[in-house]
């Protein structure tokens, strides 16, 4: 049942057996952030997938900030430390494995034609744990890109940016600007800008596809951010759930935009928390799956070799002393989830098996989190 993946050769064999035809999007999840073994597995897998035609990787980090990293791995004179510090949100540049990833990508891409390079993307919203930014730069980017004749006449007045990014608004709806007259007026402006951009697509995209896609990303983000701020201003019982759902929607939109851009070059590997990639509930992965169907494959991961008998983790741990891959269809749902190995770790539950195609279990980890924030 278990496919050992304790070295590059066995990893390649196991994944080739699982995926005889590479899916358009392969999602690789992790059960928590900061444990080195999960991103190191990602790096090892990417090196193999590159031989099978994969030409992009997308991480759970700000869609726009990731452009700095993509420039670096494509050979730009940006320093590695700058790419790690400015190209990742959530302080993920400090996560073990990400420095090694960027070093490998830059070396791999060196000397290759653009069509053969592995591009780096982020697919997360431009939000942080307890704050969301002003929509100013997203609105003005689209406004300035459009021909003057197509620009809405309504003023883009976003007020003080600090009013939007106030972290207190995450926990207190009354502190949010999202339901103000200003915010409601800006949602109309954002809609007008998006409409004008779409109508101008035949001419603008033909002139410069990259510039048009850049503007379109800003347009959809402006609208999504304004929805997010409006939800922050709502005192509803499921307020945090609504915010999570809106973030998932932004993630899914970004992933689909990446797929649309990369579909002629090759498949994409996405790496994020398991909860974002599984095809369950209203996660980003579930939303992507509605568009891609079987072209989206999900592999979740977990750890904890010392789980109690009767748990899913104990069943997985009994099959390996290091790392192994399991098809979810071969695993029994008549178990329960084990305990977390540290705060923030979300052990896989039997119900999670329905939202993934396979599980990688890592037994040889001490479960220690690197302090990345």
Taking only the tens place, the pLDDT of each residue in 203-260 is 999 999 999 999 999 999 999 999 999 999 999 889 999 999 999 999 999 999 999 9
Q: What are the residues whose beta carbons fall under 8 Å from the beta carbon of 209, sequence distance 6 or more? A: none
What is the rounded distance in angstroms from the CA atom of residue 66 to the CA atom of residue 120? 7
**CA distance linking residue 211 with residue 204, whole number of Å:** 8
CA distance 57 to 11: 18
| Tens digits of residue pLDDT in 165-206 | 999 999 999 999 999 999 999 999 999 999 999 999 999 999
pTM of the model: 0.96
Strand ranges of the sheet holding 323-327, from the earlier edge strand across to the other edge: 3-4, 323-327, 358-362, 296-303, 25-30, 268-273, 56-62, 119-124
- Round to whole Å and give the CA distance between 50 and 201: 33
CB atoms within 10 A of CB 288: 29
What is the CA 193 to chain-centroid distance, rounded? Answer: 26
Pairing between β-strand 323-327 and β-strand 358-362 as defined by DSSP bridges = antiparallel
Give the pLDDT confidence score for residue 333 in this predicted structure. 75
CA 47 to chain CA mean position, Å: 19
Q: Residue 137, exposed/middle/buried by CB under 10 A (0-12, 13-18, 19+)?
A: middle
Read off the pLDDT band of 130 (50, 70, 90).
Answer: confident
DSSP state string for 65-115? THHHHHHHHTT-S--HHHHHHHS-STTGGGSTTHHHHHHHHHHHHTT--GG
Question: What is the residue extent of each domain of the chain?
Answer: 3-127+270-362, 136-256
Q: What is the pLDDT of residues 32-60, one digit of tens each?
A: 999 999 999 999 999 999 999 999 999 99
Across 5-14, 150-159, 333-342, the highest mean pLDDT is recorded for: 5-14
Secondary structure (3-state) at 211: helix
- Strand-pair category, 323-327 with 56-62: unpaired
Which CATH number does 3-127+270-362 carry? 3.40.50
Instruction: Return d(Cα 272, Cα 274) in angstroms, integer.
Output: 6
Band of residue 129 on the pLDDT scale cut at 50, 70, 90: confident
Cα–Cα nearest to 186, from 123, 135, 251, 111:
135
Structure confidence at residue 71 as a pLDDT band (50, 70, 90): very high
Cα–Cα dist 266/146, whole Å: 31
The per-residue pLDDT of the chain, averaged, comes to 95
Both tokens of residue 74?
Answer: 């494509």
What spatial distance separates the first Cα and last Cα of the chain, rounded to whole Å? 38
Q: What are phi and psi of 132, to 5 degrees?
A: -130, 140
């Amino acid at each position: 049942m278990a496919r050992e993946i304790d070295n590059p050769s066995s990893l390649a064999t196991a994944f080739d057996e699982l995926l005889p035809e590479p899916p358009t999007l392969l999602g690789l999840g992790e059960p928590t952030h900061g444990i080195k073994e999960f991103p190191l597995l990602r790096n090892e897998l990417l090196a193999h997938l590159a031989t099978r035609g994969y030409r992009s990787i997308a991480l759970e980090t700000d869609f726009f900030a990731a452009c700095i990293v993509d420039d670096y791995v494509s050979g730009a004179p940006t320093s590695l430390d700058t790419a790690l510090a400015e190209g990742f949100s959530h302080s993920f540049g400090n996560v073990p494995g990400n420095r090694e990833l960027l070093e490998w990508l830059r070396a791999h891409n060196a000397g290759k034609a653009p069509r053969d390079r592995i591009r780096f993307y982020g697919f997360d919203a431009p939000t942080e744990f307890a704050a969301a930014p002003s929509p100013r730069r997203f609105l003005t980017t689209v406004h300035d890109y459009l021909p003057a004749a197509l620009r809405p006449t309504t003023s883009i007045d976003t007020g003080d940016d600090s009013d939007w990014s106030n972290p207190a608004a995450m926990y207190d709806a009354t502190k949010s600007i999202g339901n103000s007259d200003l915010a409601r007026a800006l949602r109309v402006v954002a809609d007008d800008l998006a409409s004008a951009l779409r109508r101008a697509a035949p001419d603008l995209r033909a002139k410069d596809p990259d510039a048009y896609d850049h503007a379109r990303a800003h347009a959809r983000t402006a609208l999504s951010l304004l929805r997010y701020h409006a939800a922050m201003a709502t005192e509803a019982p499921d307020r945090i759930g609504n915010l999570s759902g809106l973030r998932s929607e932004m993630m899914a939109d970004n992933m689909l935009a990446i797929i649309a851009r990369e579909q002629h070059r090759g498949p994409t590997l996405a790496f994020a928390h398991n909860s974002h990639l599984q095809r369950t509930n209203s996660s980003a992965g579930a939303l992507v799956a509605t568009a891609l169907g079987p072209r989206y494959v999900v592999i979740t991961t977990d750890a904890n070799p010392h789980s109690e008998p009767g748990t899913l983790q104990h069943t997985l741990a009994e099959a390996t002393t290091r790392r192994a891959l399991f098809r979810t269809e071969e695993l029994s749902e008549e178990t329960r989830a084990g305990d977390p190995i540290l705060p923030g770790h979300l052990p896989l539950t039997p119900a999670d098996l329905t939202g993934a195609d396979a599980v990688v279990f890592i037994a040889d980890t001490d479960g220690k989190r690197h302090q990345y924030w």
